[in-house]
């Protein structure tokens, strides 16, 4: 989505409740308490992959006043809207925008205290590569929190979800949501994709009528490493 008009239209969709739930669930997760260090301390840095117009980093900064966020997206038009959103919310000193391909992150290994993404993986031709990149750049003992759409069982369920969650959107945004549901992964597919990274199946759960969530800590590095 690199068209300025499409980016603005996307930004105007009703994201508020979904974004608030994402951040609430992240902050309420017991994985934050189980980590070896405080993952949201005042010097922690979080990576948001596929940030779009940066609404989730803004919501995180609104609810948690300490951490900083690096927000990456491949679409420059989305980042232009994100820049405006960040300025309106006075978060320039806490959110750094980064234009780049999240399938091949330019960041070094073990860099971020936490990595998050919302509704990004289903856009990728090979989502396993995107998940592996997020895992790579997360510090040992850091956290990974990913949420995305869950592929419905049939077309009637697709239309029910569009009618339930996008009834007040424009026809083009309804079609975008419909296409995203068709492109989404099943729970088993996500678990199979996560398994080679050492992520247990229980870390991936269905968390709404249209979402799965992966919530886990990365394993601490052994002294011998």
d(CA 37, CA 68): 16
User: 148, 185 in Cβ contact below 8 A?
Assistant: yes
pLDDT band of residue 225 (cuts 50, 70, 90) is: very low
Mean pLDDT of 68-95: 94
| Alpha-carbon separation of residue 216 from 20, 169, 213, 220 (angstroms) | 20, 33, 10, 12
What string of DSSP letters covers 39-53? TTSTT-EEEEET-TT
Q: How many CA atoms are closer than 13 Å to the CA of 65, on its beta-carbon side?
A: 0
Q: Specify the long-range contacts of residues 57-63, CB closer than 8 Å, at least 24 apart.
A: 57/86, 57/91, 57/95, 58/85, 58/86, 58/89, 58/91, 58/95, 59/19, 59/20, 59/22, 59/23, 60/23, 60/26, 61/89, 61/91, 61/94, 61/95, 62/89, 63/23, 63/24, 63/27
HSE value, Cβ hemisphere, 13 Å, CA-based, for 156: 0
- Per-residue DSSP letters for 144-170? EEEEEEB--SSHHHHHHHHHHHSTTS-
Residue 25: enclosing H or E segment and its boundaries? Answer: helix 16-28
The reported pLDDT for the residue numbered 223 is: 41
Tokens at 211, concatenated: 């979402």
Mean residue pLDDT of the chain comes to 89
Stretch 33-57: mean pLDDT: 80
Q: How confident is the model at residue 37 (pLDDT cuts 50, 70, 90)?
A: low
Which of the two residues, 9 and 29, has the higher pLDDT score? 29
Rg from Cα positions in the chain: 17
Q: Tens digits of per-residue pLDDT, 15-34?
A: 788 899 999 999 888 776 66
pLDDT at site 28: 87
Long-range contact list for 172-180, CB < 8 A, 24+ apart?
A: 172/9, 173/9, 173/10, 173/13, 176/10, 180/119, 180/122, 180/123, 180/149
Q: So what's the pLDDT on residue 33? A: 66
pLDDT tens track for 98-152:
999 888 899 999 999 999 999 999 999 999 999 999 999 999 989 999 999 999 9
């Amino acid at each position: 989505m690199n068209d300025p008009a499409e980016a603005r239209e996307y930004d105007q969709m009703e994201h508020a409740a979904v974004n608030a739930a994402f951040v609430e669930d992240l902050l309420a997760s017991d994985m934050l308490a189980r980590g070896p260090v405080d993952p949201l301390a005042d010097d922690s840095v979080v990576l948001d992959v596929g940030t779009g117009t940066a609404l989730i980093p803004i919501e995180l900064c609104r609810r948690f006043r300490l951490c900083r966020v690096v927000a990456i997206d491949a679409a420059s038009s989305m980042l232009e809207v994100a820049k405006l959103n960040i300025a309106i919310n006075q978060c320039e000193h806490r959110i750094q925008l980064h234009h780049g391909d999240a399938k091949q992150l330019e960041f070094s290994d073990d860099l971020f205290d936490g990595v998050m993404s919302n509704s990004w993986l289903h856009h990728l031709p090979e989502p396993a590569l995107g998940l592996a990149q997020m895992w790579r750049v997360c510090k040992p003992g850091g956290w990974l929190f990913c949420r995305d759409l869950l592929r419905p069982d049939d077309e009637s369920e697709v239309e029910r979800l569009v009618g339930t969650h996008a009834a007040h959107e424009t026809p083009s945004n309804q079609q975008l949501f419909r296409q995203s549901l068709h492109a989404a992964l099943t729970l088993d597919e996500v678990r199979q994709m996560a398994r080679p990274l050492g992520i247990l199946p229980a870390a991936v759960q269905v968390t709404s009528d249209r979402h799965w969530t992966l919530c886990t800590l990365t394993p601490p590095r052994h002294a011998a490493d």
